[in-house]
Amino acid sequence: MRGADVTQESLFTVAKLADFVPANHPLRSIRELADEALRRMSGLFSALYADTGRASIAPEKLMRAQLLQLFYSIRSER
């Protein structure tokens, strides 16, 4: 079952995650491009996941995490 792509920022801190990234940082425009591409792929993701079972981590979150790993040369997915 496909998980939802929602954030729980208020659970951990009163500041939003966007407050930690400067307004002119390149990651902001990359995030917009990635979100648009992931929105277009949403139908494909839904077709790949089962309708029943335990909800997974949203594939959009996994893709965004992978992008950050690639940009900042984090060598492991663990």
pLDDT in tens, 23-57: 999 999 999 999 999 999 988 888 888 888 888 88
- The pLDDT of residue 7 is 66
Residue 40 included in any domain? yes
Structurally, the chain folds into a number of domains equal to 1
- DSSP letters spanning 58-75: -HHHHHHHHHHHHHTT--
Note down the domain range covering 42.
17-72
- The pLDDT of residue 24 is 92
In one-letter notation, the amino acid at residue 34 is A
Residue 9 included in any domain? no
Residue 35 included in any domain? yes
Residue 62 included in any domain? yes
Residue 5 included in any domain? no
Residue 6 included in any domain? no
- The pLDDT of residue 29 is 93
Residue 66 included in any domain? yes
Residue 38 included in any domain? yes
Does pTM top 0.85 for this prediction?
no
Structure tokens at 42: 């949403």
